[in-house]
Structure 1
Amino acid sequence: MKFVIVLAALVAVCSGAAIPSGDLEATVLRDNRHNDGINGYEFGYETSNGITRQENGVLKPVGETAVIIVSGDASWVAPDGTPVSLKFTADENGYHPVV
């Protein structure tokens, strides 16, 4: 019974979420991708409603293993019109966001 109540509440919350009308008609303006499978990868995109995203990753030897060192950024406009920007790195020590 608890599951049904939680599920009903979740559906109610999700169905009430408003999507800004500009997001429904957004188009992709730029979409770049590269992954050679050895030296790393990179990608980036931009949409007509102001969303941008870029990321790159390289393989780094750490002791007897290797980790992927990732860096990137994203930006968008919040529903209230506030510009939002996020930069981040991720490495053998974890995820490091900067807002």
Structure 2
Amino acid sequence: MMKITVFALAVVALVSALPQDPSQAQAQPPVQILKQESEVDVNGYNFEFETSDGTSRQEQGEYKNDTDQQGLSVKGSYKYIAPDGQQISVTFVADKNGYQPSESAGDNQPAAPAQA
């Protein structure tokens, strides 16, 4: 009885590991890192990367300790190819006022939730 239970569990695990979507069954080439740079110090950081699938991100963070702003101020941008093939590009600032995507990034900005 124990052998049958172990065999049944092995079959369930094998079937669960198979791709559920037939389109995912085709092997995708691994994504390659084309560029990767970073620098970190006590006053802030910056980094940048780019991959072979069209994804990239760059960001700079600076620690501010003055009367106008105290804490981390971040500026950056990222882009990627959406599943429908559209290139999404977002530029942003994140500081004491929160996350602020730039209007120049186009129509693919995340929309604010509707007020009820």
Asked if TM exceeds 0.5, the reply is yes
Aligned residues: CA RMSD: 2.7
Task: Indicate the percent of aligned positions where both proteins have the same amino acid.
Answer: 35
55, 61, 81: which one pairs with 1:57? 61
Q: Which runs of 5+ in 2 are unaligned?
A: 1-18, 103-108, 110-116
Structure 2 residue aligned with 1:45, among 44, 49, 55? 49
Shift of 1:16: 5.7
| Residues 1:69 and 1:46: Cα distance change in structure 2 (over 3 Å) | same
Which residue, out of 74, 80, 86, partners 2:84?
80
TM-score by length of 1: 0.70
Rg: which structure is higher? Answer: 2
Query: Could you tell me how far apart the structure 1 residues matched to 2:20 and 2:99 are?
Result: 32
The answer to whether structure 1 residue 69 and structure 2 residue 94 are counterparts is no
Aligned length in residues: 83
Task: Name structure 1 gaps, 5 residues minimum.
Answer: 1-14
Q: Alpha-carbon deviation of 1:62? A: 3.8
Verify: 1:32 aligned to 2:47, yes or no.
Answer: no
Provide runs of 4+ in structure 1 moved above 3 Å. 15-22
